[in-house]
Each structure stands twice: as C-alpha cells, then as structure tokens.
Amino acid sequence: MFRRILIANRGEIALRVQRTAKEMGIEVVAVFSEVDRNSLPVRYADRAYLLGPPPPAESYLRGDLILEIAQSCEVDAIHPGFGFLSENPSFAEAVRKAGIVFIGPPAAAISKMGDKISSRQVALEAGVPVIPGADGDLDPAALLKKAHEIGFPVLLKAAAGGGGKGIKIVRDEAEFDEALRFAKAEAEGAFGDGRVYLEKFLDKPRHVEIQVVADQHGNCVTYGERECSVQRRHQKLVEESPSPAVDANLRRRMEEAAKALTLKVGYEGAGTIEFMVSHGEFYFLEMNTRLQVEHAITEERFGVDLVEEQIRVAAGKKVRSPLEPRGHSIEVRINAEDPKTFFPSLGKIERLSSPGGRGVRFDSAIFRGLEVSPYYDSMLAKLIVWAEDRGRAIERMLRALAELRVAGVQTSVPAAVHVLHSEEFRSGDYDTSILEGLERPQELQVLEVAGLAAAYAKYKGSLVSEKKGTEGAKGVSPWVLRGRLEGRG
C-alpha cells in the first residue's frame, strides 16, 4: 500500500480523500492557491505546499508544478479528485512517466472517453446503445443534413469537456445556423476545442448513471444506479439512488452495458457511465473517468468507501465484490448561488450550523469566516441522507435542510426544498425538465448578466485594493466567471 499521496485538488473533495487516506494509514500532501491558504484541507494535511495565485490556470491546473512538488516530497501516488486535472490525459501520463501512480484510469482511457465523439464510437463497438446522431466531426452542411435525417429537435454538443457547456437545443432548421455558432463558440471558450457533434433530442429524458470500479486484473464491478435528473443548466442539484424509474430488468441491462464499455476501453479505477433513459430504453451519454460528486449516495446504500477502492485498485489490489444494497439515499448540492436565478452569490460565511442525526452526512470543507471567491466552483457542500425507503429519505432530507444554516451568502437550498416538496419528485415521475418551472428564461437572462457583472466588479475591486491576484483578474468577463463557478474547475 502507498506510504504517502498528494491530493491535487481543493475544498470538499480534497478533504474527503484526506480522511480516507488517513484511515488507511497513508500520509497526505496538500497543494493550495493563495486564496485557500487557510482552508481545511491545508490545515488537516501532513504537508501543504503553495501553488500560486487563485486563478486555476496559475495554481490547480499547473500540472508541472504539482508534479515537481510530488517528486520533491517523494509521494507514491497522486489523487486528482474531480475537476481540474482529474480528466487530463497528459497529466495522467506525465505522472506515470515520473514513476508516480496516478489514482485513476490510464491516460489512453481518459483520452478515448473524454472526447464525446470517440466515446460514442467505443460504445458502439462494445454493443452499448447510443442516441441517434452524427458520430464524426462534420461540417455545417453535413450536420444539418443529419439533423433532417433523424428529425428535429436535435442537440448540438461540444465534443470535448462537459459541465453542460457547448450544448444547444435546435428545434427546427431556422434555428440551426445560429445555434451551431453558439455551441462552437462556447465549446471553444470553455475547452479550447470548437468541435461539436449532433444527437437526437429525447422526449422526457431521465439522466441515470452506473457506478463502476475496475482493477488491473480484468475485473469490473458495478454499484447500481444514481438518478441525476434534477438539474439546472445541465448541472445536477439533487441526486438519488436507486432511481424510481429503473426496475430490476432495466438495471441489469444497464449494468451489463456499463461493464462491457468499461472493459472495452481498458479502464482501471472508479468511473461512471452516464445514460439517458426515455420510454424504458437507455442510451449511452458519456463516461466520467473520475470520482463523481454524487458518489456518496452509492456509498451509503452499498456500505462502501469508493475512495478506498480507488486507492486499493491503484495499488494493484483486486476490486472487492459489492455488498447487497439497502434502503434509499438522496444528495443535495449546496451551492453558493441565488436559488431563483442560480447566478453566483459571493461573500463571507458569517454563520454555519450543519445538520446531524441518524442517516445524515454533511460533506464539506466550509467554515465560519470562509470567503467564497469567484475563482472556483459554486458548490459549498453536499448533504446526503439515507433511510429505509424513499419516502423516509425525502422527509429526512427536508428535516436536515431545515437544520442547515449558512449566513453571509445565498444558497441553492430553497430550490432543492421546492423540488423535494413537488408532486413530480415525490411521485418519482419526473425528468430533466423538472426545474423549468423555477426559471423564467427571458427575465433571468437580464438578471443573470446584471448579477454576474456586479459580482465581478465587486471582486475585481477587492483584488486590486488588496494588491493580490491583480494580474489574474485582468480580462476576466462575467461569462468566464460563470464558467469558473459552474464548471468543475
């Protein structure tokens, strides 16, 4: 087993990995940006090293500097968490070449499954159903022709990246050219890759994913499914396991497909195969070649520590067979944002009271006095509950949310409460459009621009006045700011 690992991340996930590593008797090395100097992961680590200024490009995305620190500390392995460098094949390969274990899949698997076009091809080769669409990087005329062949509405999607960016719904030919320009521009801005592909827009789809763990010996196990259809701007807000829409037969078929795809790509470690489910059929969406934010609900149902499994598998151990799942688990993401408009809420956490009691888990790295900055993701914490059945889990989550107190910034909690009380959610008969009733697009576009601009102006001013990070603030638009807050890194 490893003696010392470096965690190339920040916030809740860094602390999450630290806790498991310490329980396994492993020393942990933390890295941090200037704004995270007093963070909990830094305080709890055995060693901690400064990376640089707050902007990710100057800190948490500095793979060369992280690798230099890892070598100087003589670590055995690097855990990337999620976001930042976790799905960067170049970084994974550089770690391997340096003689350090990357706690994640091989670079080749990350590369194949990180590209939406190549991952669709791998899925087809593995016999996994995919959404009808265009599998290659076609020119505009060819994409439009394909859209007519499969029928409108269609989705234009970025070939690289994720997080809901570079996605545009096209309902008819009149919208196509403008939508294509928008999708390409957003994809280029977010990922430096303007390629897009096309898929059929599914009617009333549900977002359901399968957790997998594979080892270096050709073994792969699955841990059931997670329902992730409660989303805003393609970002998940409430997740649950099991899915109320998946019966035993559909679950079996999805798990078999997930295993086939995982083994086909030569995967190792923890990963998630995401599917869209519509009218009883499922279609491959993408593979996340890392630990998911919502992994905790799987842990609660299966009595497993997925981070421990990641570390064990990376050390060459065989993956252990899952225990029988029990009960129902729900997770709510606690984001620093206005619950009506979902634009960022920045400031200092002035008061914090976390929930507790039976079946309640609060994963966070926040504390009183923490400054919520504009540089990183808006997620402050994750609230997870477990209960014997779905009805009790919903009531337990509502009780836990009522106990939670976060003062100083707005949070997305009211939006989650609205969902949990809704007839659609309680009946289990909902899809990815469940939050549309909370948003009024035309009005919110105006509010969002104004809110982001105000937040940007406030923080740019404070950075300049403090004489810190001024260079990193130059040229950052509110839209880039939104990307930093909504994307994982």
Catalytic residue IDs = 290
Q: Which of 355, 386, 360, 364 is nearest to 240 (CA)?
A: 386
Q: Which of 473, 261, 458, 272 is nearest to 372 (CA)?
A: 458
Contact by Cβ (8 Å): 212, 413: no
DSSP assignments along 179-203, one per residue: HHHHHHHHHHHHHS---EEEEEPPS
- To the nearest 10 degrees (0 to 180), the angle between helices 176-191 and 478-486 is 70
Instruction: Say how many C-beta atoms besides its own lie within 10 A of residue 96's C-beta.
Output: 13
Instruction: Say how many C-beta atoms besides its own lie within 10 A of residue 470's C-beta.
Output: 13
Instruction: Name 169's bridge partners.
Output: 155
Report the C-alpha gap between 392 and 387 in whole angstroms: 6
Report the C-alpha gap between 269 and 290 in whole angstroms: 8
Contact by Cβ (8 Å): 45, 69: no
DSSP assignments along 371-439, one per residue: EE-SSS-SEEEEEEEEESSHHHHHHHHHHHHHH-EEESS--SHHHHHHHHHSHHHHHT---TTGGGGG-
Report the C-alpha gap between 200 and 349 in whole angstroms: 43
Report the C-alpha gap between 137 and 156 in whole angstroms: 12
Residue 103: HSE in the Cβ half-sphere, 13 Å Cα cutoff: 29
